[in-house]
Structure 1
Amino acid sequence: MMSASMRSGLHVMRVGVRYQSTMMIQNSTRNAKILFPKLSEISMNELVSETKPFGKGQYFVERSQTGNLPVYSDTKGGGNKFVTEIRRIQGDVIQLRNDLQEKLPYIPKKNWKVLTQSQKIIIKGDAVKQVKGILTKTF
């Protein structure tokens, strides 16, 4: 089925326009607060705290938009192997694992696995309620 513009021999060309959020229109104060400062105007002290730099030894578990913690249970091997997965970890994943191992000593250390590339912690067994209980107090 041909469109009306094709039947009359006219071709319609769509043109897309891309706006950059860092570009400011001259003599315009509208949306001035949304724009980012120039890199030359930012000092290193504004980016990283000198007293507590984020990274080694610090971590954060981001909640979902509905306010839930990203702790999930999954089954492997045809449904007879349960694992617990902690996702959306920012910062030092190994330190979070160490702190959780301290608070959950009844889970053997060999059952813990850290996926540093994807920032996840995998625990063999169903420990969702226990992990959520600890993270709820912390985060």
Structure 2
Amino acid sequence: MNNKWLSIILFSGIFSLIGFIFFLIGLLMFRHINKKEKRCILKTYGIVKDVVKHKSYNSDSVKGSGYYPVFEYHVGDVTITKESAYGSGKPRYKKGQNVEIYYNPQKCSEYYIKDDKLPHILAKVFTIVGAFLIGIALVSTVLIFILYK
């Protein structure tokens, strides 16, 4: 096998692997979201207690930040305050904003926000990017084999 074919196999293999990982993460995110929505069946209302700004740095020391809402809601006599696991580049909630919350009656600290589309959007993005990378790998491999046969 010469270097050209080895390069082709390596290229398509890397794209396929990265695509598969993204696709799998997206599917696992959808699964997690759906399971949580099935467990969190009781509705209450809460407020956005705060919006926390977390600063981060990437590998090139470029500073970034994400805004994470902190939700507060009551279940019986218990007050639950939880920071969202999903941050965004711009605040998607305002401090003091009312929100509709669904929580798990077996574990009241497990919740989801009815109108928060970000988890679904992130899962879709991972799934689509993964499928796109796998598609690029397959199409480029087929084209290369056809053109250089």
TM-score, structure 1 as length reference: 0.23
Find the structure with the greater CA-based Rg.
Answer: 1
TM-score, structure 2 as length reference: 0.22
| Structure ranking higher in strand proportion | 2
| Structure ranking higher in helix proportion | 2
